[in-house]
């Protein structure tokens, strides 16, 4: 049953006993406590909830709506964790410089998205700082050739922002990227800067301190996800990691062995394609780096 003062809201960021939310008809982000007399709610960014404003400052969350999608992963310790809800898209922000460009991180984020059936887009920033100008043209094209949307933009100057806005307008997107790559500049350029801060003032016990942002589109939303470490692949078999690399789809069935890990086996079609230039050496190196982790390469469920 819906209370008289209840209003729908979107969860942006979460503490232990509180969450930052934005009511569906507002742009401001509010800190809300969980109502104590209802069953304990587990909330994640993207959740749709109903909350009641008690006064100008206090808000309580009454209940959570059923999730249309839950993004779950297995931690390095083997626990299942829900990271976000009701999203259908991941936008990965990477800078050509400051911080340095890490292709292995980009490829792992793309693999994570594909394994979890999420569309993914690459947004490259700071092209004016790139040490190698060829990268600015070559890298986006490399990923476009794989079927990904890839854009080079400069949010501070406004370059490419309209294209990003059009691309994200009808999607429910989680924004991922290292600190310093330009996510804050992108939010400001899109027209919103709803920053989430310390959530320690509401709730019982010690709270976490987290950051996040929400930007609304007419038919979608964009939520900032702090950090990239949460998206590392753990506990995956070689076949599961392979699924994250779209260019392996047509090659793996041509390998001599059905259980080929594409490392040292003879008759490996993937390795032959790398040697012949049909698969980018950087992408293959990223695959090998993920597979080399001690907890990977064995049987297990994707995380």
- pLDDT score recorded for residue 199: 39
Both 270 and 221 in a single domain? no
Residues 161-180 have a mean pLDDT of: 94
pLDDT tens-place string over residues 41-82: 789 999 999 999 998 889 999 999 999 999 988 776 777 889
Both 146 and 284 in a single domain? no
Both 175 and 119 in a single domain? yes
Confidence of residue 4 (pLDDT cuts 50, 70, 90): low
Residue 210 has pLDDT above 50, yes or no: no
CA distance 139 to 235: 29
Are 254 and 262 a contacting pair, CB within 8 Å? no
Name the domain count of the chain. 2
- pLDDT score recorded for residue 204: 31
Are 181 and 102 a contacting pair, CB within 8 Å? no
Beta strands in the chain (DSSP E): 7-14, 18-23, 30-34, 48-53, 59-64, 70-74, 80-85, 89-95, 119-125, 149-152, 172-176, 214-217, 220-225
**Would you state the structure tokens that stand for residue 238, as one six-digit string?**
């070689």
Both 266 and 189 in a single domain? no
Both 185 and 111 in a single domain? yes
Confirm whether 286 is domain-assigned: yes
Both 169 and 260 in a single domain? no
Confidence of residue 227 (pLDDT cuts 50, 70, 90): confident
Confirm whether 296 is domain-assigned: no
- Find the CATH number of the domain harbouring 158: 3.40.50.300
271: domain range? Answer: 238-291
* Domain termination site, one of 225, 248, 266: 225
Residue 131 has pLDDT above 90, yes or no: no
CA distance 181 to 98: 7
Residue 1 has pLDDT above 50, yes or no: no
CA distance 170 to 216: 10
Both 88 and 188 in a single domain? yes
Q: Is the peptide bond preceding residue 99 cis, with omega within 30 degrees of 0?
A: yes
Enumerate residues 6+ apart whose C-beta is below 8 A from 165.
190, 217
Tell me what percent of the residues of the chain surpass a pLDDT of 70: 88
**This prediction's pTM:** 0.88
Confidence of residue 281 (pLDDT cuts 50, 70, 90): very high
pLDDT tens-place string over residues 285-302: 999 999 999 888 754 334
CA distance 302 to 233: 8
Confirm whether 6 is domain-assigned: no
* Domain termination site, one of 225, 248, 283: 225
- pLDDT score recorded for residue 206: 34
Both 221 and 253 in a single domain? no
How many helices (H) and strands (E) the chain has is answered by: 7, 13
Residue 196 has pLDDT above 90, yes or no: no
- pLDDT score recorded for residue 273: 98
Phi, psi of 92 (to 5 degrees): -105, 120
Confirm whether 128 is domain-assigned: yes
Residue 201 has pLDDT above 70, yes or no: no
Confirm whether 4 is domain-assigned: no
Residue 156 has pLDDT above 60, yes or no: yes
Both 122 and 186 in a single domain? yes
- DSSP SS3 for 87: coil
Comparing CA positions, the residue from 126, 139, 123, 138 lying closest to residue 176 is: 123
> Strand pairing partners for 214?
223
- Find the CATH number of the domain harbouring 242: 1.10.40.50
Residue 163 has pLDDT above 90, yes or no: yes
Both 122 and 250 in a single domain? no
Both 115 and 175 in a single domain? yes
Mean pLDDT of the chain: 87
Poorest-pLDDT segment among 139-148, 209-218, 255-264: 209-218
């Amino acid at each position: 049953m819906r209370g008289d003062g209840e209003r729908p809201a979107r969860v942006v960021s979460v503490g232990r006993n509180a969450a930052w939310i934005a009511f569906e008809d507002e742009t401001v982000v509010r800190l809300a406590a969980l109502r104590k007399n209802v069953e304990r709610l587990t909330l994640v960014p993207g959740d749709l909830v109903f909350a009641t404003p008690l006064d100008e400052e206090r808000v309580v969350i009454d209940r959570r709506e059923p999730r249309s999608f839950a993004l779950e992963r297995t931690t390095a310790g083997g626990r299942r964790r829900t990271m976000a809800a009701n999203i259908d898209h991941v936008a990965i922000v990477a800078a050509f410089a400051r911080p340095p460009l890490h292709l292995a991180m980009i490829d792992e984020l793309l693999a994570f998205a594909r394994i979890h059936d999420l569309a993914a887009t690459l947004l490259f920033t700071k092209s004016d700082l790139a040490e190698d100008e060829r990268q600015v043209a070559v890298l986006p094209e490399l990923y476009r050739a794989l079927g990904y949307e890839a854009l080079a933009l400069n949010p501070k100057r406004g370059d490419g922002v309209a294209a990003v806005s059009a691309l994200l307008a009808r999607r429910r997107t989680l924004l991922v990227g290292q600190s310093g790559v330009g996510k804050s500049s992108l939010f400001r350029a899109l027209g919103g800067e709803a920053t989430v801060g310390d959530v320690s003032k509401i709730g019982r016990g010690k709270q976490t301190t987290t950051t996040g942002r929400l930007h609304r589109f007419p038919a979608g939303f964009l939520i900032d996800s702090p950090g990239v470490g949460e998206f590392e692949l753990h506990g995956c078999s070689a076949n599961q990691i392979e699924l994250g690399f779209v260019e392996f789809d047509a090659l793996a069935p041509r390998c001599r062995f059905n259980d080929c890990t594409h490392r040292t086996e003879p008759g490996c079609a993937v390795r032959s394609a790398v040697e012949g230039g049909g698969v980018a050496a950087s992408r293959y190196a990223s695959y090998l780096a993920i597979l080399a982790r001690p907890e990977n390469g064995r049987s297990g469920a994707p995380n």
